[in-house]
Structure 1
């Protein structure tokens, strides 16, 4: 049974920004390109970068990590028994993903 829609918590918004500036292949990746690869909205990537949002589904987290050229657990922590899901802010909780 999956704990929620959101399976992973971002380790650090700053780390995401740094990895986007210099990916595993040495080139930067844009917010829109990362959103396309992860099959999510570019605003979700923007919110992850600023820390306004901390969570992503397993498929999104895996796609983002692969595009950036890092292992999944370098950038993400799985939500489960030892890591609780963060409370989403009210304005984000009211909007469907």
Structure 2
């Protein structure tokens, strides 16, 4: 079992959008392609782009930064004892059958 990772906090939704328009290799990356690289659902990338969500786990954040061609800390901040992670609202709600 892997130890629980502290979430990473997105520095700026606008920066994410800009980096997606022109990656390290000069080409644009789609929401779906970035989600595939990060191993998450495309809606998570969409929420990050809109500023509706600000956190991702370390592995996702690292994969996103790598796919965009930037260092991890250009786009993300560490959280931990001295830097608390923001609370995220639950995006999926149960609907009674």
* TM range, smaller chain: 0.7 to 0.9
Over residues 44-96 of structure 1, what are the superposed CA-to-partner deviations in whole Å (9 max), with x where a residue is unaligned? 0000000101000111000000000000000000111222110112x42758x
Paired residues of 1:21 and 1:28 also in contact (CA < 8 A): yes
Q: What CA RMSD, in Å, does the superposition of the two structures yield over aligned residues?
A: 1.7
Between Structure 1 and Structure 2, which shows a larger proportion of helix residues? 1
Paired residues of 1:65 and 1:72 also in contact (CA < 8 A): yes
Q: Aligned partners of 2:50, 2:74: CA distance in 1, in Å?
A: 18
Paired residues of 1:3 and 1:79 also in contact (CA < 8 A): no
- Note the residue ranges of structure 1 that are not aligned, 5 or more in a row: none
Large movers: runs of 4+ above 6 Å: none
- After TM superposition, the score normalised by the length of structure 2 is 0.87
Please tell me whether Structure 1 or Structure 2 has the larger radius of gyration of its CA atoms.
2
Q: Aligned partners of 1:44, 1:18: CA distance in 2, in Å?
A: 17
Aligned pairs, how many? Answer: 92
